[in-house]
Amino acid sequence: MKISINNVSKNFGNFQALSNVDLGVKSGELLALLGPSGSGKTTLLRIIAGLETPNESGAILFGGENVTYRGAKDRGVGFVFQHYALFRHMTVFENIAFGLRVRPAHTRPGNGEIKDRVFKLLKLVQLGGLERRYPSQLSGGQRQRVALARALAVEPKVLLLDEPFGALDAKVRKELRRWLRELHSEIHVTSIFVTHDQEEALELADRVVIMNAGRIEQIGTPEEVYDSPANSFIYKFLGSVNTLTTSVSGGDAHIGNVTFPTGLTNLNEPEGVAFIRPHEFSVSKSANGRPTLTVTLKHIQPVGATIRLEVTRQDNGEILDVELSREEYRTVNPKINDTLHLHPQRLQVYPPDFSI
Amino acid sequence: MAGGITSLVTTTHRLTHSGRQVLREPAWARFALLAVALGFLFLFLFVPLLCVFTEAFKKGWHSYAAALGDRNSQSAIFLTLKVCVVAVPLNVIFGVAAAWSITKFRFKGKNFLLTLIDLPFAVSPVISGLVFVLIFSHTAFGDWLKDHGWKIIFNTPGLILATLFVTFPFVARELIPLMQSQGSDEEQAAISLGANGWKTFWHVTLPNIKWGLLHGIVLCNARAMGEFGAVSVVSGHVQGKTNTIPLHIEVLYESSLYSASFAMASLLTLLALLTLIVKIVVERQHKP
């Protein structure tokens, strides 16, 4: 089911939760709405579900059909709530069967068929044998999967998930993420999930929609948004980043002795900011005749497969983070208080942002 | 380093130890507090209870049965039941509707509604009764009703109205905190699964609030049967016609028919005990 969101805004009293959002969701894709808290991502999801109505200007289309004022009951969406919202007084079986049981008599499947479908779903979400348990007797990950099975039982045209892994611990989250990815490639229902975790969005989604302050900042595949962030907000939001004071002229950024092409030919900015990710430096002990950024090594922190170095610029004292693989680290073999030479492999400069 | 850890451990140990000592009262103080609490309950609850039943049965089973079988007593019992049968269900409907709208919807004046629900607790029952008397006997509306043959005050409808007013906070007050703590996620889930409003209420909300609701009904009913002040004002005290159990007890007592009055009182006391038992059972069900 293709979804079009046209010019959707939403106010809660004086608070503008969404302003003029336009978004197209392709049929069968897995889309992430990513943003910090308060960015409007959950509001947008709830508007798509029909749990909120947008301001009058906007429209929601499901496959060309305008559903803006159709309530959640009649939209045919499956919604997985952040805290699952399982019916606490019902067994797992009854939870999953609920959507079928409440159908009007003439479209309600018979008891036998309901049973077949519930057991099929239990198998799909790998919870066979737990149908008689109550939600309080399940672990967080199991509840999550019951919520998913319950949403899928009504054969939704669209599956919506609000922070699906938010309440789980890191290990379970990782497992469920992989499992959801596989499930989606199996059933191929158009799915949208909300998350504030950039790693989750980049790992799971076909496309990522990055939101901030009620607006969409960028839409793209995980590679696109990570490799070419549209603005400084996204650059900072998607992973750790160094900000370096730089002057920009003639299309080049000048950081210390280093000159780096920016592609922004008509920008003249004596006090601009350059963004460089910690792993995008090449590090050596000698300059080898190249213009480099000279820094002093202050701390060495091994974190899993990478070594994190904290260095200060010798020209202006700015603190930078540098990440090296263990191999690179061994080759350079730096010691605390050594002078190191950094050469950025890529950097990004954005024209000044005049919005607030 | 090792010394540091040891000393840290001892300090924490000492801290918890002294912490517990701070919380622990000396034995005599604990005993005194317990004695005060139990003594108070004995004096003001148990003794009067015992008194009611001994007085009621002072002249034996026979006169007890006779007192309850008296025509006026029968009428009072029947009237009380009649008032409760109308007032309690109406207040259940009102209470559920009020709690539902307050906890599940966003609207202006929500806090005002919450305050209004508490009003009967804040107003003296006698005043509540008086308000109804004034509305129905000294206004154009009251005259109009009288002209059309509707007798509200000094009649059963007046008793029902006064009881309704005095008891309407019970169910709502019981449900609002419960429903607030449960939130509306489950209802939203039910609706997104295609359930209509009624099915959502019946299959999702009601099972979640049933014990709280029952608790509210029990309290509401106990108050409805026992209400004296408001009912006294609107009743008119016609024996065998507009006297409820509490009013009839007063009449019997004033006429020095002590054991008969205590026999009637024992009915309300039994109801109170029953209420207590239901409450205990309900509360046990409440926490799994």
pLDDT digits (tens, 9 = 90+) for A312-332: 999 888 899 999 999 999 998
Collapsed DSSP state (helix, strand, coil) of residue A68 = coil
CA distances A236 to A34, A78, A100, A233, A348, Å, are: 13, 33, 45, 5, 11
Give A247-267 pLDDT, tens digit per residue. Answer: 888 788 888 778 887 777 777
What is the predicted pLDDT for the residue at B2?
42
A179 touches chain B (CB under 8 A): no
Q: Give the span between the Cα atoms of A63 and A151, in whole angstroms.
A: 20
Judge whether residue B5 has pLDDT over 90: no
Give B245-255 pLDDT, tens digit per residue. Answer: 999 999 999 99
Q: What is the average pLDDT across B169-195?
A: 93
The model's confidence at residue A311, banded by pLDDT at 50, 70 and 90, is very high
Q: What is the average pLDDT across B165-189?
A: 92
Which residues in chain A touch residue B288, judged by CB atoms under 8 angstroms apart? Answer: 136
B194 touches chain A (CB under 8 A): yes
Contact A73 B196 (CB under 8 A): yes
A187 touches chain B (CB under 8 A): no
Q: What is the average pLDDT across B140-169?
A: 87
Interface mutation target, options B181, B193, B200, B203, chain A, most CBs of A under 10 Å: B193
Contact A72 B188 (CB under 8 A): yes
Q: Contact at 8 Å (CB) between A272 and A260?
A: no
Contact B188 A150 (CB under 8 A): no
B193 touches chain A (CB under 8 A): yes
Which residues in chain B touch residue A71, judged by CB atoms under 8 angstroms apart? Answer: 191
Looking at the complex, report in whole angstroms how far the Cα of residue A299 sits from the nearest Cα belonging to chain B. Answer: 24
Which residues in chain A touch residue B191, judged by CB atoms under 8 angstroms apart? Answer: 51, 71-73
Give B70-120 pLDDT, tens digit per residue. Answer: 899 999 999 999 999 999 999 999 999 999 989 888 888 888 988 999 898
Q: What is the average pLDDT across A218-243?
A: 91
Which residues in chain B touch residue A50, judged by CB atoms under 8 angstroms apart? Answer: 192
What is the predicted pLDDT for the residue at B9?
43
Looking at the complex, report in whole angstroms how far the Cα of residue B205 sits from the nearest Cα belonging to chain A. Answer: 9
The model's confidence at residue A66, banded by pLDDT at 50, 70 and 90, is very high
What is the predicted pLDDT for the residue at B206?
93
Q: Give the span between the Cα atoms of B82 and B272, in whole angstroms.
A: 18
DSSP-derived letter for residue A72 is G
Which residues in chain B touch residue A77, judged by CB atoms under 8 angstroms apart? Answer: 192
Contact B188 A98 (CB under 8 A): no
Contact B188 A50 (CB under 8 A): no
Collapsed DSSP state (helix, strand, coil) of residue A45 = helix
Report the chain A residue with the minimal C-alpha distance to residue B184: A85
Q: Contact at 8 Å (CB) between A339 and A314?
A: yes
A61 touches chain B (CB under 8 A): no
φ, ψ dihedrals at A306, nearest 5°: -115, 160
Which residues in chain B touch residue A98, judged by CB atoms under 8 angstroms apart? Answer: 190, 193, 195, 203
What is the predicted pLDDT for the residue at A353?
61
B206 touches chain A (CB under 8 A): no
What is the maximum alpha-carbon separation in chain B? 96
Contact A85 B193 (CB under 8 A): no
Interface mutation target, options A102, A107, A162, A192, chain B, most CBs of B under 10 Å: A102
Q: How many A/B residue pairs have CB atoms within 8 Å?
A: 64
Q: Contact at 8 Å (CB) between A295 and A339?
A: yes
What is the predicted pLDDT for the residue at A292?
84
Give A27-37 pLDDT, tens digit per residue. Answer: 999 999 999 99
A78 touches chain B (CB under 8 A): yes
Q: Contact at 8 Å (CB) between B174 and B219?
A: yes
Beta bridge partners of A283: A342
Contact B188 A51 (CB under 8 A): yes
Average pLDDT value for chain A = 90
Judge whether residue A208 has pLDDT over 80: yes
Written as six digits, the tokens of A269 are 């900015």
What is the predicted pLDDT for the residue at B200?
94
Q: Contact at 8 Å (CB) between A181 and A169?
A: no
Judge whether residue B288 has pLDDT over 50: no
Residue type, A273: V
Contacts of B146 (CB under 8 A, 6+ apart): none
Report the chain B residue with the minimal C-alpha distance to residue A88: B208
Collapsed DSSP state (helix, strand, coil) of residue A161 = strand
Q: Give the span between the Cα atoms of A123 and B255, in whole angstroms.
A: 77
Q: Give the span between the Cα atoms of A224 and A207, in whole angstroms.
A: 9
Report the chain A residue with the minimal C-alpha distance to residue B202: A102
Give A95-143 pLDDT, tens digit per residue. Answer: 999 999 999 999 999 999 999 999 999 998 889 999 999 999 999 999 9
Which residues in chain A touch residue B186, judged by CB atoms under 8 angstroms apart? Answer: 85-88
What is the predicted pLDDT for the residue at A6?
94
Please provide the DSSP assignment of B6-36 as one string.
HHHHHHHHHHHHHHHHHHSPPHHHHHHHHHH
Judge whether residue B191 has pLDDT over 50: yes
Looking at the complex, report in whole angstroms how far the Cα of residue A53 sits from the nearest Cα belonging to chain B. Answer: 14
Q: In terms of DSSP bridges, do strands A59-62 and A3-12 run parallel, antiparallel, or are they unpaired?
A: antiparallel
Interface mutation target, options A73, A75, A82, A91, chain B, most CBs of B under 10 Å: A73
Name the residue among A262, A286, A287, A285 with its Cα closest to residue A273: A262
Contact A98 B203 (CB under 8 A): yes
Report the chain B residue with the minimal C-alpha distance to residue A51: B188
Report the chain A residue with the minimal C-alpha distance to residue B186: A85
The model's confidence at residue A24, banded by pLDDT at 50, 70 and 90, is very high
Judge whether residue B10 has pLDDT over 50: no
A58 touches chain B (CB under 8 A): no
In chain B, the percentage of residues whose pLDDT exceeds 90 is: 39
Report the chain B residue with the minimal C-alpha distance to residue A72: B192
Give B22-79 pLDDT, tens digit per residue. Answer: 667 788 888 999 999 999 999 998 898 899 999 888 888 888 998 888 899 999 999 9
Judge whether residue B13 has pLDDT over 60: no
Crossing angle, helix A111-124 and helix A140-153, to 10 degrees?
Answer: 140
